[in-house]
C-alpha cells in the first residue's frame, strides 16, 4: 500500500509539473487526486502501511550539536522542544538575557511563525460560514485595492493564505501605523508582480490584510480573536498578543559585525498577524501536538478544516505552501519519504522555527534571541538546529558543522574594513589630488566629481530602493550595515565637497 501511494504521488507530481505554470498553484484536477491519495493514506489501517519508525532523540549528541552551533554563531540563548508520542522533551541553552534564566516557558517573539495562527483563525471562520476561501477579498474589505484595480478584484482569500495573490515580497512598511487597518491605504500604490493565482511569492503583507479581514468579519480586534479562539482553548498560557504583558520575555539581540548586542526594539502590535505574536517553547509544543491530531482539535477546528489548513496548494522553491505552513518531504533511514510541515520566523532580534513530522507524531521547536537581517547565504541558527534535530528523528545523522554565522560575519567585516580604509585613504591624499588637479582639464575634473556623486546617490538612495527597505528600517534591522554605509557616505561626501571647492576656485 505504501509503495502504491508513493508511486501515485510521484506520478501526480510529474503530471502537475507539466500542467501547471512554472511556480504556479496546483490545478483543480490534480488537487482532487492528491486529496484522494491523502484520504486513502489516512483511512488505511496502520498495519497495511509502511510503519513510521521514530528514532528516539540522542540527547547527549543533540546537546553537543546545539552547543557547537550556538558557539559558532554566538547565540545568547536557545530554547528547544522535542515532541514525541510519549510527551515532550525540553532543553535550554544559554541565557534569556538581563540575568534571567531560560526555561520552557520563556517567551520569544515569533516573527513569521505568527502566520500559522492567522491562517488557523481564518479557517475557523471558514468553518463557521463567515468566510469563503474562493471569495474575492473585496467582498469583506471593500477598501482593499492595489494600483491595478481590476487585478485587485481577482484576489481571493485563498490567494492571500498561500501567497499566490501577486503581492510583491517586499512592500514598504506604513510608518506610525497603530492599527492593522491603517496599512491598507498604502497598498493602493503597490503593483502586483504577477496575476493572482499564477505563482507563489512569499509576501508578509498578505497576512496583514488577512488580519484586517478577521477583524472586519468578527467585529473584534485580531489580538482578542487569537487569544479567545486559539491560545485559551489550547491552554497556551505563556503566549501573548501584547509585548508589554509578555512575562518572562527573552531579551532580543541584534548582531553588530558578528557580536550580539541586546536590543529593546518597540513592540510592533500593528504586525501581529504576520510577525508579532509571542509564545514559548512549551506552548508551541502544545500547539504542534494539537495540529497533528488527525481527528481535529475539539473546540478549535474540525478534522476536515485541519486537513485543508495543512494541505499544500501552491508550489514554492523546493517546497509547497499550505496555509501559514510550508510542506516538504524528507527520506528516512529506510528511504521512505516522510511528510514535513514547517515554518520559520525571522525578526531583527529573534529567530525561530517549528517542524512537524505528522507520520511520526513528532516535532521540533527552536527559539533563539539573536538575529540579523543581512541576506547571508546561510540558514539561521534556529532553522539549522530545528531541521537537524528533526531529521535525526527520522534516522538521519545530526549535521556536522560547515559554514557558520561568525565566519560569514568575519568575511563581511574584513571586506567592510577594507572598503572603509580605501575611502579614508582617498581623504588622506586629497592634497596630492589638489596639486595634480592644477594640470588637469576642468571637464575631466567635473566628470570625476559627477561619477563620485553618482556613487553617493546610489549608496544612499539606490541601495534602499533596490532592497525595498527604507533607511529607518535598515537602521532598525541591520544597524551594523546601515551605520557602515552612512559612515562611508559621510567620508565620500567630505571628499566630494573638498574637490568641488578646489574646482570652483580654479
pLDDT in tens, 151-167: 999 999 999 999 999 99
Residue 415 has pLDDT above 90, yes or no: yes
Would you place residue 282 in the very low, low, confident or very high pLDDT band (cuts 50, 70, 90)?
Answer: very high
Q: 15-24, 303-312, 373-382: which range is least confident on average?
A: 15-24
52-91+105-393 under CATH 3.40.710.10, yes or no: yes
CB atoms under 10 Å from CB of 389, counted, come to 26
pLDDT at 44: 40
Please state the rounded mean pLDDT for residues 330-348. 91
Return the exposure string of 402-418: e unless at least 16 CB atoms fall within 10 Å of the residue's CB, then b. Answer: eebbeebbeebbeebee
Domain(s) labelled CATH 3.40.710.10 in the chain stretch across 52-91+105-393
Residue with cell 520575555: 249
pLDDT at 26: 37
* Residue-averaged pLDDT of the chain: 87
Contact 394, 360 (CB under 8 A): yes
C-alpha distances in Å from residue 72, one per residue of 25, 83, 406: 39, 26, 6
Q: 346-350, 472-476, 483-487: which range is least confident on average?
A: 472-476
Residue 37 has pLDDT above 60, yes or no: no
Q: Contacts from 413-420 at CB under 8 Å and sequence distance 24+?
A: 413/257, 413/258, 416/257, 416/484, 419/488, 420/484, 420/487, 420/488, 420/491
Q: Which pLDDT tens digit goes with each residue over 449-474? A: 999 999 999 999 988 888 777 888 88
Q: Which helix (H) or strand (E) holds 78?
A: strand 77-84
DSSP H helices, 149-300, are 149-152, 157-161, 204-218, 222-226, 281-291
Q: Which range, 34-38, 96-100, 374-378, has the best average confidence (pLDDT)? A: 96-100
Q: Which pLDDT tens digit goes with each residue over 212-255? A: 999 999 999 999 999 999 999 999 999 999 998 998 999 999 99
Tell me the three state secondary structure of residue 328: strand
pLDDT at 173: 63
Amino acid at each position: 500500500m505504501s509503495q502504491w501511494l508513493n508511486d501515485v504521488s510521484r506520478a501526480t507530481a510529474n503530471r502537475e509539473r507539466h500542467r501547471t505554470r512554472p511556480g504556479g498553484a496546483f490545478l483543480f484536477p490534480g488537487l482532487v487526486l492528491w486529496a484522494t491519495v491523502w484520504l486513502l493514506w489516512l483511512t488505511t489501517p496502520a498495519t497495511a502501511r509502511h510503519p513510521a519508525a521514530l528514532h528516539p532523540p540522542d540527547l547527549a549528541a543533540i546537546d553537543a550539536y546545539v552547543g557547537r552551533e550556538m558557539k559558532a554563531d554566538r547565540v545568547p540563548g536557545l530554547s528547544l522542544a522535542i515532541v514525541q508520542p510519549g510527551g515532550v522533551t525540553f532543553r535550554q541553552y544559554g541565557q534569556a538575557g538581563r540575568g534571567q534564566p531560560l526555561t520552557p516557558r520563556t517567551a520569544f517573539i515569533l516573527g513569521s511563525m505568527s502566520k500559522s495562527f492567522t491562517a488557523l483563525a481564518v479557517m475557523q471562520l471558514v468553518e463557521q460560514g463567515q468566510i469563503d476561501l474562493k471569495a474575492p477579498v473585496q467582498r469583506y474589505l471593500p477598501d482593499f485595492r492595489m494600483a491595478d484595480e481590476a487585478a485587485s478584484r481577482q484576489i481571493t482569500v485563498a490567494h492571500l493564505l498561500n501567497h499566490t495573490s501577486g503581492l510583491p515580497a517586499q512592500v514598504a512598511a506604513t510608518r506610525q501605523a497603530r492599527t492593522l487597518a491603517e496599512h491598507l491605504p498604502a497598498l493602493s500604490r503597490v503593483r502586483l508582480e504577477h496575476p493572482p493565482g499564477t505563482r507563489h511569492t512569499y509576501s508578509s503583507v498578505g497576512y496583514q490584510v488577512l488580519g484586517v479581514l478577521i477583524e472586519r468579519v468578527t467585529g473584534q480586534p485580531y489580538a482578542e480573536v487569537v487569544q479567545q479562539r486559539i491560545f485559551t482553548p489550547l491552554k497556551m498560557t505563556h503566549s501573548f498578543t501584547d509585548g508589554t504583558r509578555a512575562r518572562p520575555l527573552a531579551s532580543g539581540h541584534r548582531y553588530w559585525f558578528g557580536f550580539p548586542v541586546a536590543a529593546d526594539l518597540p513592540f510592533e502590535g500593528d504586525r501581529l498577524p504576520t510577525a508579532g505574536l509571542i509564545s514559548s517553547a512549551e506552548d508551541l509544543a502544545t500547539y504542534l501536538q494539537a495540529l497533528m491530531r488527525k481527528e481535529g482539535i475539539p473546540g478549535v477546528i474540525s478534522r476536515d478544516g485541519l486537513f485543508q489548513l495543512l494541505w499544500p496548494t501552491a508550489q514554492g522553491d523546493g517546497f509547497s505552501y499550505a496555509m501559514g505552513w510550508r510542506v516538504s518531504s524528507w527520506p528516512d533511514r529506510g528511504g521512505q519519504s516522510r511528510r514535513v510541515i514547517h515554518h520559520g520566523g525571522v525578526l531583527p532580534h529573534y529567530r525561530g522555527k517549528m517542524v512537524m513530522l505528522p507520520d511520526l507524531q513528532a516535532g521540533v521547536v527552536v527559539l533563539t534571541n539573536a538575529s540579523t537581517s543581512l541576506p547571508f547565504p546561510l540558514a539561521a541558527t534556529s532553522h539549522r538546529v530545528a531541521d537537524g534535530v528533526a531529521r535525526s528523528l527520522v534516522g538521519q545523522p545530526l549535521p556536522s558543522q560547515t559554514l557558520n554565522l561568525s565566519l560569514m560575519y568575519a568575511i563581511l567585516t574584513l571586506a567592510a574594513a577594507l572598503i572603509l580604509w580605501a575611502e579614508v585613504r582617498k581623504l588622506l591624499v586629497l592634497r596630492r589630488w589638489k596639486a595634480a588637479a592644477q594640470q588637469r582639464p576642468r571637464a575631466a575634473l567635473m566628470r570625476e566629481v559627477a561619477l563620485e556623486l553618482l556613487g553617493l546617490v546610489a549608496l544612499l538612495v539606490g541601495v534602499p530602493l533596490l532592497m525595498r527597505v527604507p533607511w529607518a528600517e535598515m537602521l532598525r534591522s541591520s544597524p551594523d550595515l546601515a551605520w557602515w554605509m552612512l559612515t562611508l557616505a559621510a567620508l565620500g561626501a567630505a571628499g566630494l565637497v573638498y574637490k568641488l571647492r578646489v574646482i570652483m576656485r580654479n
